[in-house]
């Protein structure tokens, strides 16, 4: 199982293209965190990831999340909305694996990739990553007031 957490305590050089916002998802920048599921050939891991996440819609909503599924060049919103998304552009920008391979990506509200996984991520893991983001911590403080 491979998971790469691209978010950490170190300062990120935002001039580096690897940390540039994903342009094809610009409509979500500063409004939503985006979780993208890239379907595998038999869709088993993608279906498992989808079912696990959608079981806790309240947690997704609380964290301002949008969940998208990319199958081939088609992008389908699973939670939240996403209109006019270009699946091919999204695949290129994310440097997604070859067609038929599973992948999952988490983008922060700043539009940059925070997590890349080659196996499904549990909701607990995903929400822990989101909850440790500085912007999410500030939102939680604001909600408590």
The whole-number pLDDT of residue 5 equals: 54
Q: Report the side by side order of strands in the sheet with 74-79.
A: 3-5, 113-117, 103-107, 33-38, 65-71, 74-79
What domains does the chain contain, in order, with CATH numbers? 23-144 (3.40.30.10)
**How would residue 2 be classed by pLDDT, with cut points 50, 70 and 90?**
low
pLDDT, averaged across the chain: 86
pLDDT in tens, 31-58: 999 999 999 888 899 999 999 999 999 9
The model's pTM is 0.84
pLDDT in tens, 52-102: 999 999 999 999 999 999 998 899 999 999 888 999 999 999 999 888 899
Residue whose entry in the numeric block shows the structure tokens 């989808």: 50
Return the SS3 of 88: helix
């Amino acid at each position: 199982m491979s998971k790469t957490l691209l978010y950490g305590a170190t300062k990120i050089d935002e001039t580096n293209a690897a940390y540039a916002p994903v342009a094809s998802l610009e409509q979500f920048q500063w409004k939503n965190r985006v979780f993208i599921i890239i379907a595998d050939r038999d869709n088993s891991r993608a279906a498992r990831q989808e079912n696990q996440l959608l079981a806790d819609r309240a947690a997704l909503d609380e964290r301002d999340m949008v969940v998208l599924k990319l199958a081939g060049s088609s992008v389908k919103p699973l939670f939240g909305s996403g209109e006019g998304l270009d699946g091919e552009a999204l695949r290129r920008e994310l440097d997604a694996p070859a067609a038929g391979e599973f992948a999952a990506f988490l983008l922060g509200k700043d539009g940059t990739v925070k997590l890349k996984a080659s196996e499904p991520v549990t909701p607990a893991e995903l929400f822990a990553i989101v909850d440790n983001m500085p912007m999410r911590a500030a939102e939680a403080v604001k909600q408590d007031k």
